[in-house]
Amino acid sequence: MTEHARQKLFSHRAPFPIAVTASAVLVGAGCPRGEQAPGPDDSRAAATPSETQATPAEGEASEPAGAEPAEPSDSPPDELTVDTEYEAIEVKRVSEPLENPWSVAFLPGGDMLVTERPGRLSLVTEDGATTEVTGAPEVHAENQGGLLDVAVHPDYDENAWVYLTYAKPDDDDTDTATALVRAELDEAAPALDNAQEIFVQDRYSSPGRHYGSRLAFLSDGTLLMSIGDRGTDPPRAQDTGDHAGSLLRLDEDGQVPTDNPFVGDPDVLDEIYAYGLRNVQGLAVDPEDDTIWVTDHGPRGGDLMHRIEAGRNYGWPVVTQGLNYRDQGPFPHAEARSMEGVEDPFYEFLPTLAPSGLALVTADAFPMWEGDLLAGGLRAERIRRVVPGEGEVLHEEELLPFELGRIRDVREGPDGGVWLLTDQDDGALYRVSPSG
């Protein structure tokens, strides 16, 4: 572990026992990061006067809007080895610098697709060569908005479909909505062809915050898609006539599955699968039984992990474990930490994680981690390894604290390795593999 990371680690100790992996050997040195501008998904992004006067500026960190940015991590190494509690791991940087990368998806031939928030889709080979894919949708890139998640269709070998979420501008390029497009990928060009916009949330609103936008396929071929509460009006997450603050379930063409939980209910939009969520940016599905796991950003505190059930209300903002940014008092609109008729969280991350990216370990590359969840942290600059039990967390370990920077995405690759994206102006793609 670098000395800077060590100092930050022991000045941010958790209030209860969490195993912290703190032994690392650096093998290389990355490019200097330099001064980091206010970043998305935390309160480093300055709030507008209207936001600060109307509601707290909600970002994915536990400090008020307008606060000074935290000191950036040391320039991350190109390689390091770490002895965790149960697994010795090797972390290697794979890609050349990427501008605020947001998501990675794997192609059958071994290459990867990576979204960069300003609007680029990149094809990354196994040896790290990066080429821009043409034909990506037009996005509104502001604060947290831009080109967001990417997913590959389960039958990609037959249809070449890839799916992208993004902040879609309205005709005046003033307001935005979370949108979904699918297109056929020509890997040789590389280019997106036959693009089809298959879903746009029902209401445009001011740009910059809480788009959600994670994607995951279920075993029946339907597609889950998260949409955040959009930041300025949190009660939208309790309005079932509004897509904001929900997890959607769609057919592969964007239509509504006939067995969605609210189909036929005039008070609920048919696409909604679950609601009362703030800004889900971690989403993983267990391939064995379709258990759905999400991580959801809280305000000041209240970062949560949920096991999602169809048709359930997860409470935000009426029920929350988080506090108001400005004064650490109760969050506006909050009524309780728990309430009848509202699902309690599976777990609350303490201290704050600012969760983004979530992977379920299913391969045998890391035998002691099988069945565990790996939750990325933006503000926390680490991964939390969570061991789930029946309705409770049995154990938790912190991995790579302050070593790589803000963790935007965590994925298990087809090779059994764990792949990470770091959210920086010169972010990167990393592969985590067994050491030795």
Domains of the chain (ranges; CATH) run 3-434 (2.120.10.30)
- Tell me, what's the pLDDT at 64? 34
Q: Which of 166, 79, 54 is nearest to 431 (CA)?
A: 79
- Tell me, what's the pLDDT at 13? 39
CA dist., res. 232 & res. 404, Å (int) = 31
- Tell me, what's the pLDDT at 74? 61
The b/e string for 141-167 (b: 16+ C-beta within 10 A; e otherwise) is bbbbbbbbbbbbbeebeeebbbbbbbb
Catalytic residues, by residue number, are 210
> What confidence tens digit (pLDDT) does each residue in 214-263 have?
999 999 999 999 999 999 999 999 999 999 999 999 999 999 999 999 99
Name all contacts of 316-321 with Cβ < 8 Å and 24+ positions apart: 316/229, 316/234, 316/237, 316/238, 316/245, 316/276, 316/277, 316/278, 317/229, 317/234, 317/235, 317/237, 317/238, 317/278, 318/235, 318/238, 318/276, 318/342, 319/276, 320/278, 321/345, 321/348
With a cut of 50, which residues of the chain have pLDDT below it?
Answer: 2-17, 22-40, 42-72
- Tell me, what's the pLDDT at 141? 96
DSSP 169-185: E-TTSSSEEEEEEEEEE
List the alpha helices (DSSP H) in 92-195.
156-159
